[in-house]
Structure 1
Amino acid sequence: MAILLASLALLARPTLAQQILRDAETEAFMADMSGPLVKAAGMEPRNVQVLVINDPEINAFVAGGQYVWVHSGLIAQADNVNQVQGVVAHELGHIEGGHIIRSAEGIKEATGITLLSLVLGAAAMAAGGAEAGMGIMGAGQQAAMGKFLAFSRAQESSADLAGARYLSKAGISGKGSLEFFKKLQNLEYRLAIPQDDSYGRTHPLSGERINVLREVYTVDPAWDKPVDPQLEARFERIKAKLIGFVSEPNQTLRKYPESDQTIPAHYARAYAWHKSAYPQKALAEADALLAAVPHDPYFLELKGQILLESGKPADAIAPLREAVKLTNQPLIATLLGHALIATEDDANFAEAEQVLRNAVARDRENPFAWYQLGVVYERHGDTARAALATAERYSMMGQDAMAMRSADAAMQGLKPGTVDYLRAQDIAMVSRAAVEQQRKKR
């Protein structure tokens, strides 16, 4: 039973335990890259999000809702965008199939077998057959685990075929999907995982999956369809950007040496130098990008970020303001709001408030934006709305006790019946219920 429960805990690990990498360019790319697949799966693109978490493992998963979580390690190891599309198509198969919800069925069956074996084993032990009783219990646990693993493998195979169907319907080649499974197969070889059968595993062996999917993909009309070159170029940009952000600077500079004058290389080195506290070198890379594409909003964002985080917030305002104008992107708007506040110039605070209010209106799931908005309200002496912004931030971070206290403080200064008062009331009610539930568990 302990082994079974441990496997289930791994199945439902919380994504919030890992760092979510929020980036405007990456999220826009993921939405465009996955959009045709989401439509092919019969879902609404605006309701499905593909997000990146900071984890070096080659993995992706779904954990409830219409979210696909992609590890940074998967993007770093992917050779092209088509490989990532193959992975996302598979994960969409899990969402469409309701596999997270249906996992309860597999758990129920496995638990039933375990409990029955415990009852029979206990009866045998009570009758004097201690060894027989232990044997029954052990066999029951093994049977329960086998049942659950078989259920999990069936879900994975179903998601493989669903993903192939989405790729076909979207007119996207399955070559990348096979290429990525071959990467996983090579990893299995390096880890010396037996390749005779997949019993005792949550997933079928990669070789088994390749054999099944090859028959599906090679006869599909989209098999020889080339990858969209513009989408591939965007992928190379966000891959380089991600490597520069998450990797050690010396690793990034080895992968993208100074001799490489491509846009992805400039992107990666800009982050590497910025992380190494060489702002002038980082700015030189950002300027090289802007020389190639003068009004690219994400290159402007990069330059603004480097200037802001190097202690030059006033210089960061112009490039960030242009980037916001070009994209209306709330993550970039939050950075602009931060720069305006960081100047400590009262003349900039009105603009900061407007920018940040617009940002949280379009993306409420941004704790840093709420923090910055709280700073603006506090500066204006509006302590009630500062408390409400703080409550929003703590609620998002799962700090229920702090959210409850901040929401209660906000209600003390807000007019009853207003939108802000009702929002504070909602946060207080939800947070208070969560705090009470935590107390009961103790």
Structure 2
Amino acid sequence: MIVAFRRLATLLALLCLTSLAVRPAAAQSVLRDAETEALLMDMARPLFTAAGLSPANARVVLIQDGSINAFVAGGQIVYIHSGLIDAADTANEVQGVIAHEIGHIVGGHAVMQNDGGYTNISILSLLLGAAAMAAGSPEAGTGLLMMGQRAAIGKYLAFSRVQESSADAAGAQYLTKAGITGKGMLSFFNKLTALQHRYGFYSTDPEVDPFAQTHPMSADRVETLKADLQAAPGWNTPLNADLERRFKRVQAKLRGYVNDPQTTLRLYPKSDQSAPAHYARAYAYHKSGYPDQARAETEALVKLAPADPYFLELEGQILLESGRPADALAPLRQATEETGYQPLIAATFGHALLATDDPANLPEAEKVLRQAVARDRENPFAWYQLGTVYERKGDEPRTALATAERADLTGDARTALFSARAAMAALPQGSVDWIRAQDIMMVSQTAMENDKKKRRRLQ
């Protein structure tokens, strides 16, 4: 019986310590798209600057998750869920969310850091509960543990509400300093309030305790911010027409990529001949296995703007994934050149060159892919393609190094370790590539050792 209660104590402690944490971004599905990343940074750049942060060291990362959420997890990175982009009516609303999250960054409110003493209380209650159980009082030990966890959660929630209110105020300041209207911030909070009403989470429900929420209730947040935002010089500043136009395109292509195709086709019927509608339907048809219809939509896009690199990228991507890599080369080459060798587009172009299985395309593929990884090392797909280039050339050491790079990015420490060792064994000692392989080997070895220690502790 005592063993059972000890297991229960361990389970409860682990549950309490993890239930409030946001999953690390690395464990979630990151969506990479050149057009989307360019838009999000153009939207966020003036806000990072207004917050005193360097945009060159900041990023906005899109996560594939249908929930309406955004978060920070250390560093100068804002993570936004795809569900938030889908729910927003304007780019300005997303800017309001980004401003709020930058407030968390500046305030040092990273997930599960500066938690107001939550973790300390949890550990204390665990120790007290375990001591009572060891003394032969399992029921008392369980009671102590549960009381401690309840107190810990209460303190964490109160601390979280303070952080959210602080981030609201900071975000409003950044919008004002950047000359961006705060109407989007308020309208998005109104959306959250409507959702709370719809699902019974608003304070008019007597069963809902506003002090048991991690965020201040949205209606209260709106009232607190409204006066300051409306008094700001930029309140009546018109929305940025270019950002709003680009946002509708990105939103449509994201919906086409993420949502069920039938849902996309209902939202963007054939009668809608706008660029966003063609975008959405192209992805919907491509996902459904209708290549002819998908190509027809991309051809309509290219006809609207023949030099638009993102339309050309999509045309090439669909041709490539439909088994026509040779036909994909021209639009992908043009898209790559039009964007100054944007790494994500260049990686797709490199893939198409390799997919032709024409040895004459190998030198260009190597050039394109080397440029891609030089400018964006955090692209496992590009490293895989570059590794394929080296393999076809018979360059085993650099094949191993490219494999190590890819495995390191995907969290495969074992493959990264052995591939890095293989690269080091054949590369000239002290060369740039040898030093990089050594770095990966050391990081991977440490990761594997830490993993072994964790497994031993759990046994």
TM-score relative to the length of structure 1: 0.94
Instruction: Indicate whether 1:388 and 2:401 are aligned.
Output: yes
Q: How does 1:84-99 map to 2 (within 5 A)?
A: 84-99=94-109
* C-alpha separation in 1, matches of 2:282 and 2:141: 65
Structure 1 residue identity aligned to 2:371: N
- Other-structure match for 1:427: 440
* C-alpha separation in 2, matches of 1:278 and 1:306: 11
- Other-structure match for 1:40: 50
Q: How does 1:105-254 map to 2 (within 5 A)?
A: 105-106=115-116, 109-114=117-122, 138-195=146-203, 197-254=209-266
Q: Of the candidates 87, 93, 97, which is equivalent to residue 77 of structure 1?
A: 87
Instruction: Indicate whether 1:49 and 2:59 are aligned.
Output: yes
Structure 1 residue ranges without an equivalent (≥5) = none
Deviation of the 1:441 alpha carbon: 2.2
* C-alpha separation in 1, matches of 2:43 and 2:161: 27
Instruction: Indicate whether 1:18 and 2:28 are aligned.
Output: yes
CA RMSD of aligned residues (A): 2.4
Q: Secondary structure at the match of 2:221?
A: helix
* C-alpha separation in 2, matches of 1:129 and 1:389: 57
* C-alpha separation in 2, matches of 1:148 and 1:32: 34
Q: Secondary structure at the match of 2:301?
A: helix
* C-alpha separation in 2, matches of 1:309 and 1:135: 59
Q: Would the alpha carbon gap of residues 194 and 412 (structure 1) be closer, same or farther in structure 2, given more than 3 Å must change?
A: same
Deviation of the 1:203 alpha carbon: 0.8
Q: Secondary structure at the match of 1:192?
A: coil
- Other-structure match for 1:305: 317
Q: Secondary structure at the match of 2:79?
A: strand
Deviation of the 1:143 alpha carbon: 2.6
1:333/1:356 contact within 8 Å kept: yes
Q: Would the alpha carbon gap of residues 134 and 380 (structure 1) be closer, same or farther in structure 2, given more than 3 Å must change?
A: closer
The count of aligned residue pairs is 440
Q: Secondary structure at the match of 1:224?
A: coil
Q: Would the alpha carbon gap of residues 80 and 129 (structure 1) be closer, same or farther in structure 2, given more than 3 Å must change?
A: same
Deviation of the 1:370 alpha carbon: 0.5
Q: Of the candidates 343, 361, 368, which is equivalent to residue 374 of structure 2?
A: 361
* C-alpha separation in 2, matches of 1:404 and 1:120: 42
Q: Secondary structure at the match of 2:191?
A: helix
1:4/1:145 contact within 8 Å kept: no
Q: Deviations over 1:323-345 (max 9, x none)?
A: 11110200000000000000000
Q: Of the candidates 286, 296, 302, which is equivalent to residue 284 of structure 1?
A: 296
Q: Deviations over 1:339-373 (max 9, x none)?
A: 00000000000000000000000000000100000
Q: Would the alpha carbon gap of residues 338 and 129 (structure 1) be closer, same or farther in structure 2, given more than 3 Å must change?
A: closer
Q: Would the alpha carbon gap of residues 371 and 215 (structure 1) be closer, same or farther in structure 2, given more than 3 Å must change?
A: same
Q: Secondary structure at the match of 2:357?
A: coil
Deviation of the 1:435 alpha carbon: 1.2
Q: Would the alpha carbon gap of residues 129 and 242 (structure 1) be closer, same or farther in structure 2, given more than 3 Å must change?
A: closer
1:377/1:386 contact within 8 Å kept: yes
Q: Would the alpha carbon gap of residues 25 and 124 (structure 1) be closer, same or farther in structure 2, given more than 3 Å must change?
A: closer
Q: Deviations over 1:290-329 (max 9, x none)?
A: 1111100000000000110001101101111111111020
2:302/2:311 contact within 8 Å kept: yes
* C-alpha separation in 1, matches of 2:158 and 2:233: 33
TM-score relative to the length of structure 2: 0.90
